[in-house]
């Protein structure tokens, strides 16, 4: 049985090599239809329209891009010795009017790969021949395929780009606002995936014509991850400055790896992740030239299986490009990797990595990636440093009313950290002592200080706040504590009663006459400590049980 299978495969390859030829647009159209049926289980043949034809460096057709029912796309090779399906996406059609430099770079690689196959008369793999045989079947129903399918991702949900509003905080010169750059866009989308960091570390400043000096203080910045235009603009700008982005109106560039074929780059994205954005120092820069084709795919799959997006990069005739690889699909039709090109989701999809044969890495050798991108782990022991100090004096703003009463020993002081990052940090308060120094600090648990506005509110819960016009001795409130009704007796000169809670919020206001007494219904008010003000001059403490 084994000999029979081996003989069959050898015969198939031998016969196939005799009739191997370029694939016409008509044959590629049939292949696109049959592929769509096999993947989506359509009962009717879809409407397939040729949207784009890619060529080799010598002008020979290399591949065809088809839109299917104007809802999805598939890219079919124009050479039957190449794996037939190069790319696809089932969520959107291919937009030929909005080709990103990254997509054009991939297309350039596809063209060079087809040219290599033609020039070297390369033989197809057995699976390639089988795939073409199925896709070019004229049967109304192509042969059934049992998919052993594995799908991971896409991990990213963002559709960010390099123009407005993502470049809203990038430098401006005259009428020119610089684009954010592919390095910043890839970094920002990966950081948004992790929703990290809360705040950065350190700062960076550099000069670039015609924009002058650009500066970012990462440690003093709180990053939001709501996806709003303001949040996107901030992280795009700061990631750009972190890598010394070379801004222009039409394209902006920076390095990705610390070390690559062109040398050492201390301001590369690899270093910026860890130095300025608190990512794990285990991040690695890897170059495809050091891996076989299969090992390179295994490396990417391992990252994605661990839910870590990869920052991918490559160089072509138009320069360097970087984007995010955030998923893959592996089945009968081969392994395709999901690419988020950083171009507002235009033409995102599952793409075949360029490569000749199972263990060769000749095409392309100019690719690299950042792997193991993840937030730094929180230490088990957090070091605390830095203080905020302030002195409470009588000149502070009173919550209830002006008073000449000095804060007495025994009053409760509550310390609230009111940060701009959305967290609420509370200290339950403590009893004061004369000449006490209060120190409060807020950390995020990973050693990062939380930017905040320290708020110290002082409440005298031990005594009434006196007034020299309406004295405490002329006022009676009972029962106090109360569980509902409160009776109040006061001088006939009082015109208004106001009830405040302990943070100064007005809960009740009542205009009173000259009868000198009133009843207040506090049944609906929660238990706690309140202050009853008499014309804003004298205040009585009320306890609701």
> Catalytic residues, which ones?
182, 321
Q: Are 191 and 277 in contact (CB under 8 A)?
A: yes
The rounded distance, in Å, linking the Cα atoms of 330 and 350 is 10
**217 phi-psi bin (left φ>0, alpha ψ -120 to 50, beta other):** beta
The rounded distance, in Å, linking the Cα atoms of 286 and 511 is 76
Distance of CA 11 to the CA centre of its chain: 52
Identify the burial level of 185 via C-beta atoms within 10 angstroms of its C-beta, where 0-12 means exposed, 13-18 middle and 19 or more buried. Answer: buried
CA angle 381, 382, 386 (to 5 degrees): 155
Please count the residues of the chain.
545
Q: Are 344 and 159 in contact (CB under 8 A)?
A: yes
- Identify the residue whose tokens are 């809670």: 501
The rounded distance, in Å, linking the Cα atoms of 471 and 494 is 12
What sign results for the dihedral spanned by CA atoms 353, 355, 358, 362? negative
Distance of CA 209 to the CA centre of its chain: 30
**Which residues fall within 8 angstroms of residue 473, CB to CB, at 6 or more apart?**
none
Question: Of 337, 336, 339, whose CA–CA distance to 324 is shortest?
Answer: 339
Q: Are 509 and 498 in contact (CB under 8 A)?
A: yes
DSSP, residue by residue, 10-38? HHHHHHHHHH--BPPHHHHHHHHHHHHHH
Instruction: Kindly calculate the radius of gyration of the chain based on its CA atoms and give it in whole angstroms.
Output: 35
Q: What is the 3-state secondary structure (H, E, C) of 278-318?
A: CECCCCEEEEHHHCCHHHHHHHHHHHHHCCCCEEEEEEECC
**Termini Cα distance of the chain:** 89
The rounded distance, in Å, linking the Cα atoms of 538 and 540 is 7
> Residue 406 phi/psi, 5° resolution?
-80, 140
Tokens of 232: 């996107």
Q: How many CB atoms lie within 10 A of CB 299?
A: 17
The rounded distance, in Å, linking the Cα atoms of 115 and 102 is 20
Question: Of 176, 156, 180, whose CA–CA distance to 166 is shortest?
Answer: 180
The rounded distance, in Å, linking the Cα atoms of 429 and 436 is 13
Question: Of 171, 253, 169, whose CA–CA distance to 213 is shortest?
Answer: 171
What sign results for the dihedral spanned by CA atoms 333, 338, 341, 346? positive
């Amino acid at each position: 049985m084994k000999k029979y299978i081996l003989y069959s495969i050898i015969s198939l390859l031998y016969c196939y090599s005799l009739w191997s030829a370029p694939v016409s647009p008509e044959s590629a159209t049939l292949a696109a239809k049959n592929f769509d049926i096999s993947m989506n289980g359509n009962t009717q043949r879809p409407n397939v329209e040729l949207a784009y034809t890619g060529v080799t460096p010598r002008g020979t057709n290399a591949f065809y891009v088809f839109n299917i029912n104007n809802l999805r796309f598939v890219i079919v090779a124009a050479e039957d010795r190449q794996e037939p399906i190069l790319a696809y996406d089932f969520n959107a059609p291919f937009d030929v009017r909005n080709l990103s430099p990254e997509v054009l770079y991939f297309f350039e690689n596809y063209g060079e790969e087809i040219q290599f196959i033609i020039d070297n008369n390369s033989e197809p793999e057995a699976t390639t021949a089988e795939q073409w045989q199925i896709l070019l079947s004229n049967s109304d129903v192509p042969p059934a395929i049992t998919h052993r399918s594995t799908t991971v991702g896409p991990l990213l949900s963002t559709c960010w780009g390099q123009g407005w509003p993502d470049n809203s905080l990038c430098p401006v010169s005259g009428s020119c606002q610089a684009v954010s750059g592919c390095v910043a866009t890839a970094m920002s989308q990966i950081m948004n995936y992790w929703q990290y960091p809360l705040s950065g570390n350190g700062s960076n400043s550099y000069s670039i014509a015609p924009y002058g000096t650009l500066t970012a203080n990462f440690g003093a910045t709180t990053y939001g991850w709501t996806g709003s235009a303001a949040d996107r603009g901030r992280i795009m700008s700061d990631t750009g400055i972190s890598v010394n982005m070379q801004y222009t109106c039409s394209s902006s560039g920076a390095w990705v790896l610390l070390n690559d074929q062109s040398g050492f780059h201390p301001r590369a994205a690899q270093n910026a992740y860890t130095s300025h954005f608190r990512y794990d120092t285990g991040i690695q820069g890897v170059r495809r030239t050091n891996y076989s084709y299969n090992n390179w795919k295994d490396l990417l799959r391992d990252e994605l299986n661990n839910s870590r997006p990869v920052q991918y990069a490559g160089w072509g005739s138009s320069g360097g490009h970087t984007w995010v690889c955030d998923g893959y699909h592996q089945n009968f039709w081969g392994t395709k990797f999901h690419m988020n090109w950083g171009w507002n989701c235009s033409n995102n999809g599952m793409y075949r990595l360029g490569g000749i044969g199972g263990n060769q890495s000749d095409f392309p050798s100019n690719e690299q990636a950042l792997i193991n991108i993840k937030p730094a782990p929180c230490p088990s022991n957090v070091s605390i440093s830095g203080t905020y100090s302030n002195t409470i004096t009588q000149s502070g703003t009173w919550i209830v009313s002006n008073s000449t009463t000095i804060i007495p020993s025994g009053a409760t002081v509550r310390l609230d950290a009111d940060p701009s990052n959305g967290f609420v940090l509370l200290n339950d308060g403590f009893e004061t002592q004369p000449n006490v120094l209060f120190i409060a600090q807020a950390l995020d648990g990973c050693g990062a200080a939380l930017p905040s506005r320290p708020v110290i509110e002082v409440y005298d819960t031990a005594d009434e706040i006196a007034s020299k016009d309406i004295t405490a001795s002329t006022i009676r409130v009972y029962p106090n504590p109360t569980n509902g009704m409160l009776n109040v007796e006061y001088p006939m000169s009082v015109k208004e009663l106001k009830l405040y809670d302990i943070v100064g919020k007005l809960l009740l206001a009542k205009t009173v006459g000259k009868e000198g007494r009133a009843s207040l219904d506090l049944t609906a008010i929660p238990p706690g400590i309140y202050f009853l003000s008499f014309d804003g001059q004298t205040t009585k403490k009320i306890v609701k049980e």
